[in-house]
Amino acid sequence: MGDTPFPPVGPRGRLLVFEGLDGSGKSTQARLLVKWLQARGYRVFFTEWNSSDLVSATIRRGKKKGLLTPTTFSLLHATDFADRFERDILPPLRAGYIVVCDRYIYTAFARDAARGCDPEWVRNLYGFAPTPDKTMYFRVSVETSLKRKLASRQKISYYEAGMDLGLSNEVTDSYERFQGRLKREYDLLAPRDNFAIVDADRKVEEVLAQVRKEIRPLLADFPTMEDLVHA
């Protein structure tokens, strides 16, 4: 992972990252944190994985037609992230915002490795990306992931279930197998990349309390909008 320093343009913001399996609650917690920070007067920018206007449509078409190999899948998502980083993540960080990312480069590290790509090759693709100030890994069991996914009534997609890997002909079974691979990859990344591990099998309120506890030290002496006005 890259350790490239930010260019000396304005104050340095904070980069907060939420990672975990589908159904781990990371997206819910990221949005709750954004609201909590905004209510306390901080300037916040929120961004999601795979949302670049430049590449996301191409990725959707490739997925819909089942055309993506593991390497193509990896390269397209790296392109998506690079565009989003340059346009949406770096500018607010330079401007001194708190940037909350619902998934960051670790999503690629886990997914691409689970699909058979070389982990170090994938890391090199994202060598330009800075280390977050805090990465929270919302760890849940595969059983919980599947249960929450089914409860949401959202259709399990072909790639989400890892059907492209031929793990199983049955969607639910393939989903469990693929999510199991992802969990193993995340568990390997956790100590290497200094993740703060959050037990996401707990109630939303309990998880939220830990998230705020993890974040508070990063807010010490960090200016709110009111502070900036009176500076």
Instruction: Provide the 10 A C-beta neighbour count for residue 149.
Output: 20
Is the four-CA dihedral 179, 110, 118, 159 of positive or negative sign?
Answer: positive
The whole-model pTM stands at 0.89
Average pLDDT over residues 211-219: 96
**For the segment 38-96, what is each residue's pLDDT rounded down to a tens digit?**
999 999 999 998 766 777 677 667 666 666 788 888 898 899 899 899 999 999 999 99
Closest CA to 111 of 147, 73, 84: 73
Burial letters 90-103, b for 16+ CB under 10 A, else e: bbbbbebbbbbbbb
**For the segment 167-192, what is each residue's pLDDT rounded down to a tens digit?**
999 999 999 999 999 999 999 999 99
Closest CA to 110 of 94, 122, 126: 122
According to DSSP, the residues that pair with 44 across neighbouring strands are 98
What's the CATH architecture for 14-215? Answer: 3-Layer(aba) Sandwich (3.40)
Helices 171-192 and 105-114 sit at what angle, rounded to 10 degrees? 130
* H or E stretch at 98: strand 98-102
> Per-domain residue ranges for the chain?
14-215
